[in-house]
Structure 1
Amino acid sequence: MRVTKAFANSREREKVKREYLPFYHQSRDALSMMQGVKKYHYINLAKAENRFTGLYSGERQTANEQQLGALIILQQIESAVFNEIDNPTEAIREVGRRINALSDLIATNKTNNNLRTR
């Protein structure tokens, strides 16, 4: 029974991982299209994602479903910002502001139990 559950969990995890990659590339491609983008912009972006998801550098391969889901959301936010702002430094700052706003929203909902259920 444990083996069957382990394989089922693994298949579910693979579904999330497959969804993770396209948004990663979409985000990074949008950043790379900006004029003046430097290596540190990518590093700062990855650090912000890792901070939000609770991952350390090099841990993404072992991320759980919630962390991968959070990365999917963050990378969609990033893509939107990168399409709105054409300065890489300002864009990364805006991504940070939006990540902080999302974090505050989640924290507020957790403490107030305001999450809706159907």
Structure 2
Amino acid sequence: MKIKTILKTVGSLHLLLGLLLINMLIFSVDTIAPSVSAETLLFIRGTADVVAATNIGIGFLLIISSSIRDHESAKKVLLGELALMSCLLIVAVFNTLNAGVIVDAGPPPPFWIVLIANPVFCTYGLLKGKK
């Protein structure tokens, strides 16, 4: 698989993650946290909006970066994405293992797909990616 295709794929997964988060905040907040106060809900929405916008921005950044012609530079972008996703995966695993103790829960299943697929694609691209 070409690195260009991998960058577009992981970028699209970031876009998907951001859009899922926005949809979750707009349409299903009552089902996720029905007993949350209005102040808490506004605080959570404000923070989650920033996270969603960041994921959408990273998605566009990766898709635009797929036009990089230099193979080594494209690999550096993949390495940066791998570092970012490793940090997110560590936090997700920590939150899941400490559900009910430090936090309420880990991320929902659709987020796990992105948190696992992106590092796999990046690792594959770094090890066997073609020009």
Which TM class, normalised by the smaller chain length? 0.3 to 0.5
- Give the structure-1-normalised TM-score: 0.34
- Give the structure-2-normalised TM-score: 0.32
Q: RCO higher in 1 or 2 (8 Å CA, sep ≥ 6)?
A: 2
